[in-house]
Structure 1
Amino acid sequence: MMGFPLGNLRSRPFVIEPLARTDSAHLAKLHRLTFSQPWSDEEFHALMVEANVFGFIAREEGNLSAPPGGFVLARLVLDEAEILTVAVAPASQRRGIGHALMDATLRHLHNARADMLFLEVDEVNLPALALYRRLGFKQVGKRPGYYETADGRSAALTMRRDLKQAR
């Protein structure tokens, strides 16, 4: 299995590996830690058996029994891709895991010759917005009141990165 090691982390390094269908329970558990309306194990499993869905997981190097540090799940249809969800464990945030997961996704899409990548992000998720902007995503839409929050509702920003010019 191919993995991308992450160095310069404050604790044990993580390796980025392709998701396996058997990872759905880990994804659901991590999703519950990071989202107010998390997806279930069954929802993840249903997505992961689709032929056009792929993703990556951050595992602690040398300790595969440890909970994952994060994951990304995406879908590719013809030449357009979308990020379905990304989650980084609270204890693993600000360690480059989100960037490494997105980088693995972009490499996969480059090899698949995808033209565009879309995602939606909560407008109040400033760390995620900063990451996506650094990675070349541009806002192309807004869905008011999309996310339920403790303070009411917030908008989802639709973002796109063109991949053709990056080849």
Structure 2
Amino acid sequence: MTPQDLANTHAAAFTQSRPWTATEFADLLANRFTHVIGNAKSFALFQVIADEAELLTIATHPSHQRQGLALQSMQDWQAMAKKLGATRALLDVAADNHPAIALYKRCGYATCGRRKGYYLRENAEKIDAIVMAHDLF
């Protein structure tokens, strides 16, 4: 999967906020701590540093949603993170992204913090980020 493939899927999935560009994906993937799993239908991009993993973004193309691909991407990236030595996983999610919050809760994540006004919507509305964590045992 190329950075452009990632950017295309991300743009299709993220319609309420600015999607990431191919250059941004390329820059992230150049970092030895950054990993990606999945394909153009659904992917997860994450970092593992020491014993901690962070989900940077996850995206499923709208034409492939509601097929269990996001759940599979979650399971796959967490399994890879564990193999890389992570014992704890973190992520943040927009407080108004109810489908993603439900997915993360289904995967065992619990809220551990909040970042006020972290996400900026296209209409300039600021949305809080919910920080969630999960032990990877």
Q: TM-score, normalised by structure 1?
A: 0.76
The residue number in structure 2 matching 1:11 is: none
Q: Whole-Å Cα distance in 2 between the matches of residues 70 and 161 of structure 1? A: 21
Q: Whole-Å Cα distance in 2 between the matches of residues 83 and 159 of structure 1? A: 10
- Kept after mapping to 1: 8 A contact 2:50/2:85: no
Q: Whole-Å Cα distance in 2 between the matches of residues 91 and 151 of structure 1? A: 27
Deviation at 1:151, TM superposition (A): 7.3
The aligned runs of 1:15-164 (5 Å cut-off) are: 20=1, 23-35=2-14, 36-58=17-39, 68-149=40-121, 150=123, 152-163=125-136
Runs of 4+ with deviation above 4 angstroms? none
Q: Whole-Å Cα distance in 2 between the matches of residues 91 and 156 of structure 1? A: 26
CA RMSD across the alignment: 1.3
Percent identity of the aligned residues?
A: 33
Deviations 1:48-78 (A, max 9, x none): 11111111123xxxxxxxxx21111000001
Unaligned runs of 5+ in 2: none
SS of equivalent residue, structure 1 residue 50: coil
The residue number in structure 2 matching 1:8 is: none
Deviation at 1:153, TM superposition (A): 1.9
Q: Whole-Å Cα distance in 2 between the matches of residues 151 and 47 of structure 1? A: 26
Q: Which has the larger radius of gyration?
A: 1
Q: Whole-Å Cα distance in 2 between the matches of residues 137 and 72 of structure 1? A: 16
Q: TM-score, normalised by structure 2?
A: 0.91
Deviations 1:75-116 (A, max 9, x none): 000101100111111111111000000111111122223111
| Paired residue total | 134
Unaligned runs of 5+ in 1: 1-19, 59-67
Q: Whole-Å Cα distance in 2 between the matches of residues 101 and 118 of structure 1? A: 15
